[in-house]
Chain A
Amino acid sequence: MLSSGGESGSCSKDMAVELGDEPHVLVVDDSLIDRKLVERLLKNSSCKVTTAENALRAVEYLRLGNDTLEGTVSEVNMIITDYCMPGMTGYELLKKIKESSVLKEVPVIIMSSENIPTRISQCLEEGAKMFVLKPLKRSDVKQLKWHLMKCRN
């Protein structure tokens, strides 16, 4: 299941922001509660959010590995993914993204409920921009947005 939502429905925070300026973040997590939490955190921070319930759905959405379908420009400005997911893990998803000519520059953030140093260095070595311990907090989103702004410029 995939769901998308921009800020157009809720007007208070971002009337001044053109819809085109909102960064688009893809959130991948098999926990519905965590998807909802991260989505709300990001939307409160003026991001457009699409969620995916597992890595396979994310791959389909991003059209990864299919050169004829991949666009020339990524529609997604950032990908936040859980590490532990059934089937393809967040780490495996990260590797796939880095293999894609279109998507490899998109910053990828890995989230995990477990603080395992080897896991963290493995992800960072593979090119993840950040590794965050769950549950995600507002201070994490601030850091995340900094990476987003940096990548856009």
Chain B
Amino acid sequence: MDLVQLQRQLVDYRTSLYHEGFLDEQFTQLQSLQDENNPDFVVEVVSLFFEDSERLLNELSKALEQQIIDFKRMDGQVHQLKGSSSSIGAHRVQKLCIVFRNYCEAQNVEGCLKCLQQVKHEYGIIKTKLESMFQLEQQILNAGGSIPV
């Protein structure tokens, strides 16, 4: 595939992520913070998001396996996940966290379990999509091109 095709593919891919509600305006804000002096800013922040999310999802899974469920602690963890997903524009994950917090507050175990599965699912999707996007960007850079805005 030539450079122009790669660049077009990237723009189309990115646009679809917004249209399908995977990403929101905040991701655009994130990209606008990247420049020649901070060329890896987006990848760095998104990587932190991946690490954070995986840790929190593990902790939430463990919490729901306990005999006595600490809903307050879980709520705090979902709050953190909501915060970081909001900060990078991971729209679907953020929205699910809001629902998840409601179940925590209501101390609804079934609701929490269902929500956790949904969040894990959505997280998996956005992770794959962002990684694909970064790979495309890298291909463009390797081909000597620049990333279209």
Interface residues of A (CB under 8 A from B): 9-10, 12, 31-34, 36-37, 40-41, 44, 84, 113, 134-135, 137-138
A135 to B30, CA, bound (A): 10
A31 adjacent to B80 (CB under 8 Å)? yes
A33 adjacent to B37 (CB under 8 Å)? no
A33 adjacent to B33 (CB under 8 Å)? no
Q: A residues within 8 A CB of B45?
A: 33, 36-37
A33 adjacent to B52 (CB under 8 Å)? yes
A44 adjacent to B33 (CB under 8 Å)? yes
- Cβ of A32 to closest chain B Cβ, rounded Å: 6
A9 to B45, CA, bound (A): 20
A84 to B41, CA, bound (A): 25
- Cβ of B101 to closest chain A Cβ, rounded Å: 10
- Cβ of A47 to closest chain B Cβ, rounded Å: 14
- Cβ of B37 to closest chain A Cβ, rounded Å: 4
Chain A CB within 8 A of B26 CB: yes
Chain A CB within 8 A of B79 CB: yes
Which stretch, B15-23, B60-68, B81-89, B111-119, touches the partner chain A?
A: B81-89
- List 6 interface pairs A-B (beta carbons < 8 Å), by A numbering: A12-B35, A31-B80, A31-B83, A37-B30, A113-B83, A135-B86
